Amino acid sequence: MQIDILTLFPQLFQGPFSEGIFQRAVDRKLVQVNIHNIRDYTHDRHHTVDDYAYGGGAGMVLKPEPIFEAVEKVKKDTGLREGVEELPVILLTPQGRLFSQEVAQELASYSNLVLICGRYEGVDERVRQHLATDEISIGDYVLGGGELAAMVVVDAVVRLLPGVLGSEASAQDDSHTMGLLEYPQYTRPEVYRGWAVPEVLRSGNHAQIAKWRHEQAILRTLKRRPELLDRANLDSAEKQLVDSFKKL
Ligand code: 6GU
pLDDT, one tens digit for every residue, the chain (248 residues): 999 999 999 999 999 888 889 999 999 999 999 999 999 999 999 999 999 999 999 999 999 999 999 999 999 999 888 888 889 999 999 999 999 999 999 999 999 999 999 987 899 999 999 999 999 999 999 999 999 999 999 999 999 999 999 775 667 767 777 789 999 999 999 999 999 999 999 999 999 999 999 999 999 999 999 999 988 888 898 899 999 988 88
CATH code linked to domain 2-158: 3.40.1280.10
Predicted TM-score of the model (pTM): 0.93
Confirm or reject: Cβ of 140 under 6 Å from ligand 1. no
Is ligand 1 within 6 A of the CB of residue 104? no
Ligand 1 pocket residue status of 66, Cβ below 6 Å: no
Distance, in Å, from the CA atom of 178 to the CA atom of 195, rounded to the nearest integer, reads 29
CATH 1.10.1270.20 domain position(s) in the chain: 175-246
Q: In one letter, which amino acid is 218?
A: I
Query: Is-contact 70 41, C-beta < 8 A?
Result: yes
Residues 6+ positions from 165 with CB-CB distance below 8 Å: 21, 159, 171
Q: Which residues of 132-141 are buried (b: 16+ CB within 10 A; e: fewer)?
A: bebbbbbeee
Range(s) of the chain covered by CATH 3.40.1280.10: 2-158
Beta bridge partners of 6: 36, 116
Q: Pick from 216, 225, 111: which is nearest to 173 by CA?
A: 216
CATH homologous superfamily for the domain 175-246 = tRNA(m1g37)methyltransferase, domain 2 (1.10.1270.20)
- Decide: residue 161, CB within 10 A, 0-12 exposed, 13-18 middle, 19+ buried: middle
Annotation says 174 is catalytic: yes
Catalytic status, residue 97: no
**Residue of 62, 56, 47, 82 whose CA lies nearest to 127:** 62
